[in-house]
Amino acid sequence: MDTNKTGNHKQENQRDQVREQVINDYIENLRKYNGYTEKGKDNTIFGDHYGMQGQYWCDMYVDYVMEDSFGRRNAQKMLGGFSAGTELSKANYQKIGNWHDAKGYVPQKGDQIFFLNPTKDKSRTVNHTGVVIDVDLEKGIVYTIEGNTSAKPGDSNGTTVREKQYPLDKNTIKGYGTPDWDIEIDKRIQEIKKSSSVNEFSSKNKLQNLINGFKNDKDGTFTAKALVDNAEVVANFRNELQETLKQNQAQEVAQNTPQVQEERSYGGRSFG
């Protein structure tokens, strides 16, 4: 067996699992605000956080939850920067190489979705945004959560955070930005490795302490206490030992059966 390939495969599986958890955590945090409504014209906790009350806040909602999920510094890197404007957010994704035009692209959970809704400003390429929370390719539907929108299915302007859905080929969908998930994935994997190292070191210390205790146990009190404190470990060891003995006995019986049959045979006739 190629141990390098096996190790690489395990690492890939771990990255995939961590990636899924990172995105699910983000979507879960986005959903905490589902139904949130502004307190006056464009007055929100998102605008207050960025010192931009009274401004359109669909993009600020995305930045705010990204920051809350992964920390300000990492969130900025993952998005290519913060912005209250969708045009600049689109440019940020282009800057980090993670912008995708809608045509020919299959959106992924966690992608930031960008729309161009009817506007008199002909210079705009996008003017509303949200986040992809699911995709159904069979039905051809993308599911989103958006801020500064309406509860009405066809109304993109509004005062609330809502989950919505659209056909994948809806002409107002202009593209998607994929956050740089690797930044958070790498951070979490390092935390996992660090935690594993600490646990391994702690286990080795505990084992060494037990060995030293057994060596120095003069009256059996340490051994008695160790057995009580580690009752579950002792029970598991006994179960494993019994299972091993059963397997060994079964193998021994199987190996001896032909010999026994041969010994009981006489003149080509079996007395069994």
Nearest-angstrom CA–CA distance, 38 and 81: 24
Nearest-angstrom CA–CA distance, 67 and 69: 5
Residues of the chain with pLDDT under 50: 201, 266-272
Element (H, E) at 184: helix 182-215
Q: What is the pLDDT of residues 164-203, one digit of tens each?
A: 999 999 999 999 999 999 999 999 999 988 876 555 545 5
* Contact between residue 127 and residue 119 where contact means Cβ atoms under 8 Å apart: yes
Residue type at position 69: S
176: which strand partners?
100, 113
- pLDDT at residue 176, rounded to an integer: 98
- pLDDT at residue 143, rounded to an integer: 98
Tokens of 124: 């705009």
Nearest-angstrom CA–CA distance, 200 and 47: 46
- pLDDT at residue 201, rounded to an integer: 47
SS3 181: coil
* Contact between residue 178 and residue 114 where contact means Cβ atoms under 8 Å apart: no
Residues 6+ apart with CB under 8 A from 210: 226
Nearest-angstrom CA–CA distance, 9 and 14: 9
- pLDDT at residue 271, rounded to an integer: 38
- pLDDT at residue 175, rounded to an integer: 98
- pLDDT at residue 157, rounded to an integer: 66
* Contact between residue 65 and residue 29 where contact means Cβ atoms under 8 Å apart: yes
* Contact between residue 114 and residue 174 where contact means Cβ atoms under 8 Å apart: yes
Task: Report yes or no on whether pTM surpasses 0.75.
Answer: no
What DSSP assignment string belongs to 18-59? Answer: HHHHHHHHHHHHHHTTTT-B-SSTT--HHHHHTT-TTS--HH
